[in-house]
Amino acid sequence: MKASTIVWFQNDLRLEDNPALIHGIKSPSNLIPIFIWDEERDWFSSMGEASRWWLHHSLEAHRQSLKKLGLDLFIFKGKTDLVLQELVGKNRVEQVLWNRRYDPSSFQSDKKVSRFLDGLGVESSDFPAYTLFEPDRIRNKSGGIYKVFTPFWKCCLQFLDEIQPLAFPTLSEKVQTIPLHLGSYDCLCSIGDLGLLPQVKWDRLFEKTWNVGEKNASLGLNDFLNTKATQYKLSRDIPSVVGTSRLSAALHFGEISPRQVVQATREQFGDSGLQDPGVACYLSELGWREFSTHLLYHFSELPQKSLRPEFEKFPWQNSNLFLKAWQKGCTGIPMVDAGMRELWQTGWMHNRVRMIVASFLVKNLMVDWRLGAEWFSNSLVDADIASNVLSWQWVAGCGVDASPYYRIFNPVTQGQKFDPEGEYVKKWIPELCAIPKKWVHCPWEANEDLQNHWGLGDDYPKPIVDLKESRQIALDAYQSIK
């Protein structure tokens, strides 16, 4: 039997710029592409329903891409070490290849897999593919860890010339999938057998909103660069327009790599074009993703613990009534509720609105940021643990390089500034469609006759807290821990 190479896919569901796959394609062995759903590994057990929906469709798209090469994607549901042990023992496997992950749990799990394979006498290799740079690469002048974003990203920009995505090799003929031999631990299954799709069909709007897979990610990037990139700095804050690339989920599941995004941007605009305010601002968002991964790699407690220790004594009120109203988009604050309803129906929320709803939860409702992060993790298709947690700590004021706690977003003035016509609010809250733009972000400030006419308090709730009073309560609580 000819020797075999396993390419183990995780959150890297693409062909282009995929070091593990490309290395495997170039090897003389038979190729066995696999995906293992192991619910004992945190990356899977903590995955929210929206992300599971995306993963199902991403796996389907990736399988079709591999089929065009003559390969199949073998899906397994079971314990990673047992799956690999069976494959190694029955298929003359000489090496296992995969791409690295950097969240603490996955990083440690993959190291255990490497040691396990070494014990079986099988070579293993992992490759950098998820970020622009390895999390330990970017250091300050004294060799320490960057804890402020701007100097971190400035340092990254010095090395952009080094970024070279790997092109998928031209094949003279299709690569053939070999017949797979399995032993007693036979957990080979279909993608559908993973049970990633919801049993209750709450995902109908997902299918209308998203085009999943590597091909669609590439098309989405090209469209953004051709039509929106130069206006990004202005349009990214307007939730009623599609002014962003909306590639966060594709990046999270590895349908496209950040290196491909940088290369495509440089090819489109040239090195001088990268100084364009819109383009530079867009690339800095990739930088924030990079910064988040960098910090989570160095501070493994980030998901559970405020990095500013005084916030561990913060007097959170954690009202379950307030939390449920926020989750359902029924707080009576239109800009907040519109964002939460967009999230529930599409698995995504505009970034400006994410900041508004997060600030309202932790500062006006006094609910612990960890409960907000947990809800986002379950509800977002792009729920990257590093970006999600770091962003929540930023809003709460308890992380590194965080927004000061006393910076409290006013959802009314934010709505009036970034949704002046009320288009975004009325799209997601049809109960408010008849309200003039003067009142759409603060209908409770109109006279009682108008409120009754609009059904305020019946069709749509009145605010569950007074914005001014709740702001002061939050500021007083902050003073108590300083």
**Which residues participate in catalysis according to the annotation?**
285, 288, 316, 351, 369, 392
Distance in angstroms (rounded) separating the CA atoms of residues 50 and 347: 6
- Residue that the structure tokens 């364009």 belong to: 276
Gyration radius of the chain over CA positions = 24
In this structure, the number of other CB atoms found within 10 A of the CB of residue 317 comes to 12
Whole-angstrom distance, CA of residue 73 vs CA of residue 65: 10
The percent of the chain in helix, strand and coil, each rounded to the nearest 5, is 50, 5, 40
Give, as one character, the DSSP assignment of residue 433. T
Buried (b) or exposed (e) across 5-38, using 16+ Cβ within 10 A?
A: bbbbbbbbbbbbbbbbbbbbbebebbbbbbbbbb
Describe the crossing of helices 334-346 and 351-359 by its angle, rounded to 10 degrees: 120
Q: Give the separation between CA 295 and CA 394, rounded to whole angstroms.
A: 12
**How far apart, in whole angstroms, are the C-alpha atoms of residue 216 and residue 218?**
5
Helix ranges, 214-333 (H): 214-227, 232-235, 248-252, 258-273, 277-298, 320-328
264: helix, coil or strand?
A: helix
Per-position b or e across 357-392, b if 16+ CB within 10 A of its CB: bbbbbbbbbbbbbbbbbbbbbbbbbbbbbbbbbbbb
Tokens 């293993």 belong to which residue? Answer: 124
First to last CA, the chain: 68
* Assigned token pair, 243: 């002014």
Q: Could you give the strand order of the β-sheet that contains 30-37, starting from the edge strand earlier in sequence?
A: 123-127, 93-99, 4-9, 30-37, 74-77, 188-189
What sign does the dihedral 359-363-365-369 (CA atoms) show? positive
SS3 445: helix
* Residue labelled with tokens 């990004």: 232
> Hey, how many other C-beta atoms are within 10 angstroms of the C-beta on 176?
11
